[in-house]
Amino acid sequence: MAIVVNKPLPEFEANATGGIKVTNTSHTGQILILYFYPKDNTPGCTTEAMQFRDKYKDFVKAGATVFGVSRDNMKSHDDFKAKLELPFELIADTEEKMCHMFGVVKNKIMYGKKVKGIERSTFLVGPDGLLAQEWRGLKVPGHVDEVLKAVKAIKAQDKKVA
């Protein structure tokens, strides 16, 4: 099933660092950010993780939970998390179930060879469990600020409704 803006997420279950299980309904009532990145300890992914880390308190204040997602295993994630002192958990999607579900596995050309890689993408899920916004094939500079702005807009909308 495809991921569609303004629709609920399809059913999934994944394991994250810290012994946390994440499902399509585990964070209902909260704003959920799932950011997919290619690989732990690579330059762009390290920069992106540090930017989410540095703005983490702002995300929490706005009512959001952040998860990074990649194909790396739990040990790699634990090491990456410890090295960068990340305050949020990382999902180990070693079988690429979430990556395929969210449609972030793309053919890329690396060093002249075709490889399947993860397209850097972020998904913002509202407290109602509906996909509110998506960013695909994004560039790291300025992206985390853009996501935070979108989270604050959802939070402001929720306050009006309440």
Catalytic residues: 45
Q: What is the Cα–Cα distance from 52 to 143, expressed in whole angstroms? A: 9
Q: What is the Cα–Cα distance from 141 to 27, expressed in whole angstroms? A: 28
What sign does the CA torsion over 142, 144, 148, 154 have?
A: positive
Q: What angle do CA 145, 149, 155 make, to 5 degrees?
A: 140
